[in-house]
Amino acid sequence: MYLAHAVAIRTMFDQIDDIDCVMVLGDYNLPYLRWQFDEDLNRYTPINASSEQELTLIESLLVCGLTQTNRFTNANQRPLDLAFINAPDDMETIEPSQPLLSVDHHHKPFIVLLDIRSSELHSHTEQQTVMTAVNFRRCNFESLNNAIASIEWQLYLVGNSIDSVVSSFYAKLSEVLDMYVPRVRRKPYVSMRKPWWTADLRHMRNVLRKARKRYFKTRTMADCITLRSIEISYTDLLAESHRTYMYRVQQNLKQNPTFSLKYIRLLRGNTRIPPNMEFNGKISSSFSEAANLLANFFQSVFSCIQDAFSISQRTTSIFL
């Protein structure tokens, strides 16, 4: 297992650029491996690696330029969770004021602070993607119907597999729709505001952000205790606001259906499909292109054994 992990890390480093920042976190479960802080190197180094698993991990990760930065040990004074990075000067681990989950005494939680300049971030698309949608209300259906009726569909319904036939059919149909159906711009819904969001929650969130920022800067126990108290208050207020809103939705199912329908429409309109995806070197810039990339991916991992077929050559009438 450790050898496969080491090979995966080395393979990843063969594909990255010099400016890329790589961070590897996980439970390596090496209880007897000790890490000592080296003042000259300003980083932690292993001092007693001897087993095959320990040597495999150390020799592979350190050769790639990764440095272990986690300084926290568990209740048995053993570091089972390790944090490696190739830019140790930009990374720091600190103890959280309030863990998100119940704490396992074998695995002490920690927060990773990573300093990345905004100028170092880059994207495949320099400009914001403009999304469009078909507008059938302004479509000339007579012209569209004539165009579809004039197509010799039997030429597009012959192939070696049903996948190729379906792709050919939809490609031609999309071409005709693009010619005769106008498109309108559609602004993506990017708001993260939930319907149970209140002014009190907004105020408490701002207080929480300031307290967390102050604790990350000072690292004092007093600020840690203050942050823990504010986090608990914010979590309780958020849960109470959500319960109150859901209760209103349930109460209005019969008395005021419009209120509940607004919540349903909100869930439907909030898409989780990113417009920017990459597969086989191709990058999408819209939801439709992303859907096509997903289709290509599923087609590459799914196989259907079947005989070659040919659609009947009989003429088919198409009506809208």
pLDDT per position in the chain (320 positions), as tens? 677 888 888 888 888 877 788 888 888 888 888 888 877 766 788 888 888 888 888 878 877 888 888 888 888 888 888 888 888 877 778 888 778 788 888 888 888 887 776 545 444 444 445 667 788 888 888 888 899 889 988 888 887 788 888 888 888 888 988 888 888 876 555 555 677 888 888 888 889 888 888 887 887 888 888 988 998 898 899 889 888 888 887 777 777 767 666 666 666 555 555 667 777 888 887 777 877 887 787 777 665 555 444 444 444 443 33
Residue 226 CA, distance from chain mean position: 32
In this prediction, residue 308 carries a pLDDT of 43
End-to-end, the C-alpha distance of the chain in Å comes to 59
Closest listed residue to residue 181, CA positions, set 151, 137, 148, 149: 137
CA 76 to chain centre: 35
> Minimal CA–CA distance to 42: which of 89, 77, 76, 2?
89
The confidence score (pLDDT) of residue 271 equals: 54
The sign one gets for the Cα dihedral 115, 117, 120, 125 is positive
